[in-house]
Amino acid sequence: MSFVGRPQFNFESKILHYIVNNNQFGIIATANNGETFNILTNQDLNGDGVLVDRAVGFERNSDRTPRQFNVDLRYSRFINITERFRVEAFAEAVNIFNINSIFQFNNTTVSNVDTATGNLVGDLPDFRTRAVTSLDSRQFQFGFKFIF
């Protein structure tokens, strides 16, 4: 979901009119059920020379990372210099609530596979205990843009 708003108000006072206008607000909010990933072996089960295959019984993209949530905000203030030139001062916040959203499990290969049948021997490991790649942590940035 995203929204960009640039409200305009009419006031008789020029100072009040200038203060409440020329502002822009933006929000991006995302939520999903998690990213899919493959569960692979570190063995050549089908004899094609590639040492990464899916074990028997595991379809492509058969598992998911945890759910992901994120909210980004942006505020811009436009300052008119002349009719042709203006400056945009802005502040941006990425992942405003600093939620650790796991994007990817880094090592999704399993070694407990029977090489003759391709079947998993024993339980599937808990991928959440392995190294992960997460989305960005909370970040703020400020900037200026010269528009001509």
Q: Is the pLDDT confidence value at 106 over 70?
A: no
Residue ranges of the domains in the chain?
2-147
Quote the pLDDT of residue 128.
67
**pLDDT score of 19 more than 90:** no
The model's pLDDT over 44-96, given as tens digits with 9 standing for 90+, comes to 777 788 877 887 778 888 888 888 899 999 999 999 999 899 999 999 999 99
User: Would you say residue 143 has pLDDT above 80?
Assistant: yes
Question: What share of the chain has pLDDT > 90, as a percent?
Answer: 39
Contact assessment for residue 86 and residue 79, using Cβ atoms and an 8 Å cutoff: yes
Left if phi > 0, otherwise alpha if psi is -120 to 50, otherwise beta: which for 73?
beta
Per-residue model confidence (pLDDT) at position 122 = 72
Do residues 37 and 105 make contact, with C-beta atoms less than 8 angstroms apart?
A: yes
- pLDDT band at residue 108 under the 50/70/90 scheme: low
The CA distance from 39 to 63, in Å, is: 7
Cα 11 to Cα 21: distance, rounded to the nearest angstrom: 10
pTM exceeds 0.75? no
Closest by Cα among 138, 52, 51, 64 to 104: 64
Neighbours of 48 (CB within 10 A): 8
Res. 37: pLDDT tops 90:
no
118: alpha, beta or left? (left if phi > 0; alpha if psi -120 to 50): left
Residue 146 has pLDDT above 80, yes or no: yes
Torsion sign, CA atoms 45, 46, 51, 52:
negative
